[in-house]
A and B are shown apart, each in its own frame.
Chain A
């Protein structure tokens, strides 16, 4: 079975500081990993994905994530947080080569203080 863990319900960071939102996963075979963001009363927006290749992937709005196979992690990072980054962030995983079932983590609320 595949699963995703986001150990922090909420992350608080001051504007201008770097941010990290943690994600670990469990899946058999090669994982396809994703980050999505959800603003209040909105749908989910795709940020970035890791399928294969370079472990550091860059995405929308200056976000990036690092795939670490040995630690089964895919943490989301940004060098300098903006107040407008405040939202709910979801990590998601699906197995490569299997049915297209994307499993989401429980979400982490990012609060950026001015």
Chain B
């Protein structure tokens, strides 16, 4: 069983479209995250939810909106996609402060 699963794995879409990426974890962790990895492989945190509550919201355009229906799911919705949104988006989860994160395999978003 995959611990942190993201769908879709690949997403190619046109500028201006709205798209969603889904993430689910079956580890029973309380906290989930979204990270963006750009073309230079830099990893930057975007959002974090703890038990459905938003606790980290980095400087991210308003077009990005996370939603956590329950603590096992954290979805990312992106409105009005731009070319610069092209990246790999990683979902992750953790249990407590001393833990490392468990990452999903990523969603490669390409905006054309």
Contacts and interface: CB of A to CB of B under 8 A. Distances in A.
B98 interface: yes
A114 interface: no
A100 B31 contact: yes
Nearest to A90: B43
A32 B42 contact: no
B98 A51 contact: yes
A97 B97 contact: yes
B97 A43 contact: no
Interface in B38-86: 40-45, 48, 50, 55-56
- Tell me whether chain B's interface is mostly helix, strand or loop, or mixed: strand
B98 A32 contact: yes
A96 to B, nearest CB: 7
A96 B97 contact: yes
B106 A106 contact: no
A22 interface: no
23 contacts: A34-B100, A42-B105, A42-B106, A43-B4, A43-B105, A44-B90, A44-B101, A44-B103, A45-B103, A46-B102, A49-B98, A49-B100, A90-B43, A94-B97, A96-B97, A96-B98, A99-B55, A99-B56, A100-B97, A101-B45, A101-B56, A106-B42, A107-B42
